[in-house]
Structure 1
Amino acid sequence: MPERKLRKDAARNRRAVLEAADALFARCESPRDLTMADIAAAAGVGKGTLFRAFGDRAGLLRALYEARLEPVRQAVLAGPPPLGPATPPQQRAAALLDSVLCFKIDNRRLALALEESGGGPYRAEHYERWHGLLRAVLAEIPGLTDGDFTAHALLAATRADLVERLTGQEGVPRERLRAELAGYVAKVAAARPGPAPEA
């Protein structure tokens, strides 16, 4: 079989797997219960195809997450207001975190499954990307000298397990959660750190 045909089949299988996984994660109550066999069956491919294309379950989750995240990332990088350089950095930081929060709310089961696999949320490639973007924005805020730590602390407020707890278990409405995060970001971005306590 020609190599071009193989590549075409592989690309089609990859799309079918991602679409099937996307639909299954949207419907499942517990992401932990969704197996590679379930996804392969829904996509109409063998388990071997999944492992060849994605390596393991964590690799499949990362690929699906990145596919869903790409439009959000492009919107952030394109920089229209309120994310563009003409917007004050405090507002840009709030808008960036709001984008992450909304993405986690809309994809909370998938985000939870990804953050629970492969060593936790801090080892994921997308986390490093968000942290770098946020740290760069925070560096523009006069007087805020601990941008690296502050970026980690603010992103912790968008962890999938926290979003699941608040929206899934406690029933906090989406708009209230967004407003509370915006208020938290405003307080942190406006705060000026005092001298470090003596050891």
Structure 2
Amino acid sequence: MGIEGTVRERLVDAGVELVLSEGSGSVGLREIARRAGVSHGAPRRYFPTHRALLSAIARRGFEELGARSATAAATAATPREELAALARLYVAYALERRGMFELMFRHDLLDSGEQHGAADGPRLREATLPMFERVVELVARCRGEATEPSAAVTAAALWANLHGIAQLWSWRSLQLALGDSPAGPASTDAPDAPDRLVEAALDAHLGSATA
């Protein structure tokens, strides 16, 4: 990696650190430069727009989530088991790396096409779409049907459900709703409480695994 590539990676590293510690709304070019130890004008050589910088940071998150997903799915014996493993990981990642998770899916803030300042790199969409396409494939295999179009709709609904679980759990809204409910988890502070909600979402969209 050349000097320019090294500087660019340092800027992205600093951006990831800032997103995780202070949230995506705090990511500015000047603060990134300060944390990376370069001049205030240096980020503009690599990220001519704020969206381009955010996109490069978001891509790092998708790469990390993709690597974790591959590990989580490696031991699954059936499509349902793999889908469950990916779903649990998705929610766990959201709760662990909240700032990054929030940024990754804000495509209104990102360059989903070509990333400015990184013409030699892949587009952001090439980092975001494979995960969804895999979920569509697994949903289709679980239901024994073709991947289009109903499996894609079910996959999108499941994704929205999981995303909602992650967000509402991070805001403690679900804990409030379920804390005193006989139908809720035995303890909303139990480590497996989000996993039980994930299983309920899978059952709702695919039918019970034990049926």
Q: Shorter-chain-normalised TM-score: which range?
A: 0.7 to 0.9
Measure the CA separation in 1 of the matches of 2:28 and 2:158: 32
Structure 2 counterpart of 1:23: 17
Q: TM-score, normalised by structure 2?
A: 0.69
Q: Secondary structure at the match of 2:142?
A: coil
Measure the CA separation in 2 of the matches of 1:129 and 1:26: 24
Higher helix share: 1
Which has the higher mean CA deviation after the structures are superposed, 95-104 or 122-131?
122-131
Measure the CA separation in 2 of the matches of 1:95 and 1:11: 35
Relative distance call for 1:11 and 1:76 in structure 2 (3 A) is same
Relative distance call for 1:130 and 1:57 in structure 2 (3 A) is same
Q: Deviations over 1:26-70 (max 9, x none)?
A: 221x43133222111111223443233234333323322332332
Structure 2 counterpart of 1:92: 82
Relative distance call for 1:101 and 1:42 in structure 2 (3 A) is same
Q: Secondary structure at the match of 2:171?
A: helix
Measure the CA separation in 1 of the matches of 2:107 and 2:40: 19
Measure the CA separation in 2 of the matches of 1:137 and 1:34: 36
* Residue 170 in structure 1 maps to residue 173 in structure 2: yes
* Matched pairs, number: 178
Measure the CA separation in 2 of the matches of 1:74 and 1:116: 21
Q: TM-score, normalised by structure 1?
A: 0.73
Identity of aligned residues (%): 15
Measure the CA separation in 2 of the matches of 1:114 and 1:70: 11
Structure 1 counterpart of 2:65: 72
Relative distance call for 1:55 and 1:179 in structure 2 (3 A) is farther
* Residue identity in the other structure for 2:55: R
Measure the CA separation in 1 of the matches of 2:48 and 2:137: 33
8 Å contact from structure 2 (residues 62, 104) kept in 1? no
Structure 2 counterpart of 1:153: 157
Relative distance call for 1:107 and 1:18 in structure 2 (3 A) is same
Measure the CA separation in 1 of the matches of 2:104 and 2:207: 32
Measure the CA separation in 1 of the matches of 2:15 and 2:168: 23
Measure the CA separation in 1 of the matches of 2:5 and 2:168: 37
Measure the CA separation in 2 of the matches of 1:34 and 1:52: 17
List aligned pairs for 1:16-55, cutoff 5 A. Answer: 16-28=10-22, 30-55=23-48
Q: CA RMSD in A?
A: 3.0
8 Å contact from structure 1 (residues 94, 185) kept in 2? yes
Match 1:111 to one of 95, 101, 110: 101
Relative distance call for 1:19 and 1:171 in structure 2 (3 A) is farther
Task: Give the Å deviation of 1:154.
Answer: 1.0
Q: Secondary structure at the match of 1:46?
A: coil
Q: Secondary structure at the match of 1:139?
A: helix
